[in-house]
Amino acid sequence: MRDPHALWHPSPNFGDRRGGVLPDMIVLHYTAMGETCGARDWLCNPEAEVSAHYLISTTGDVIQMVSEDMRAWHAGAGRWGAVEDVNSRSIGIEITNTGAQPFSEPQMHSLEALMRRIMARWAIAPDRVIGHSDMAPGRKIDPGPRFDWRRLARQGLSIWPETASDAPVDGFRASAARFGYTAEVSDEVLLDAARARFRPWATGALDGQDAGIMADLATRFPVDRVSLSA
């Protein structure tokens, strides 16, 4: 399935979605490269054995490399909730960015428009939009603390915590798992991943606000409510 608003530049790096599943997630990445052409060529290089469904340039051009109904190779090892083969359950979007620069307004505008179309086509809920660092904490850090998750949430394209109430810190990890952070990593790595997305300005040890944010998300968006059937 091709997006009518995207430029088609096919990658050979894809396969069938395993088990006949349909995409019910979107995973956002940054390329860690400053130039879109270089990232595009790498994602289309058979020796690289990586790909994504879409790549968005700094000027807002949207390039599609894999049909949405096929399994791109963007997520790798990791998990979200009970999903271990994230590639089979997701659509991957790469955004041209080194990780050390702001995301441009044209690419954010194009990303939002693309996400609206994808979410409508596949009935993907806002809480099923995650970052690469959410499903692979410690191994991946993209799309990074400069990415504006709150902006997406204001448009119904992602989620944002509502509470400002502190919670006991000893409940942080259990709440994180109920929300979806089920990768087997240390408490420190888990905290870094959660903060990069929901509290990028925070420093220091785990505190009550971290625990309160995660408790709110786990209450409103428990990952176990999502069916794992095809």
pLDDT given at position 165: 86
Cβ neighbourhood burial of 140 (10 Å; 0-12, 13-18, 19+): buried
Q: Could you read off the pLDDT of 52-91 as tens digits, one per residue? A: 999 999 999 999 999 999 999 999 999 999 999 999 999 9
Domain boundary, last residue among 122, 154, 186: 154
Residue 161: inside a domain: no
Let me know if residue 219 belongs to a domain: yes
Q: What is the pLDDT along the chain (230 residues), one digit of tens a residue?
A: 899 999 999 999 999 999 999 999 999 999 999 999 999 999 999 999 999 999 999 999 999 999 999 999 999 999 999 999 999 999 999 999 999 999 999 999 999 999 999 999 999 999 999 999 999 999 999 999 999 999 999 999 999 999 778 999 999 999 999 999 999 999 999 999 999 999 999 999 999 999 999 999 999 999 987 644 43
Which of 131, 154, 177 finishes a domain? 154
**CATH (domain of 76):** 3.40.80.10
**Which structural domain, as residue segments, surrounds residue 122?**
7-154
Q: Rounded distance, CA 102 to CA 116, Å? A: 22
- Given a contact cutoff of 8 angstroms between Cβ atoms, the answer to whether 119 and 61 are in contact is no
Residue-wise pLDDT tens digits, 19-42: 999 999 999 999 999 999 999 999
Whether 109 and 174 map to the same domain: the answer is no
In a domain, 163, yes or no: no
Asked whether residue 104 falls in the same domain as residue 18, the answer is yes
What is the number of structural domains in the chain? 2
Within a domain: residue 228?
no
Rounded to 5 degrees, what are φ and ψ at 15?
-160, -170
21 and 134 together in one domain: yes
Residue 192 shares a structural domain with residue 218: yes
Supply 197's token pair. Answer: 């997305």
Same domain, 177 and 69: no
Burial of 12 (0-12, 13-18, 19+ CB in 10 A): exposed
Query: In sequence order, what are the residues at sequence separation of 6 or more whose Cβ sits closer than 8 angstroms to the Cβ of residue 174?
Result: 218
| Active site residue ranges | 94
Same domain, 187 and 145: no
Q: Which of the listed residues 130, 154, 178 is the one where a domain comes to its end? A: 154
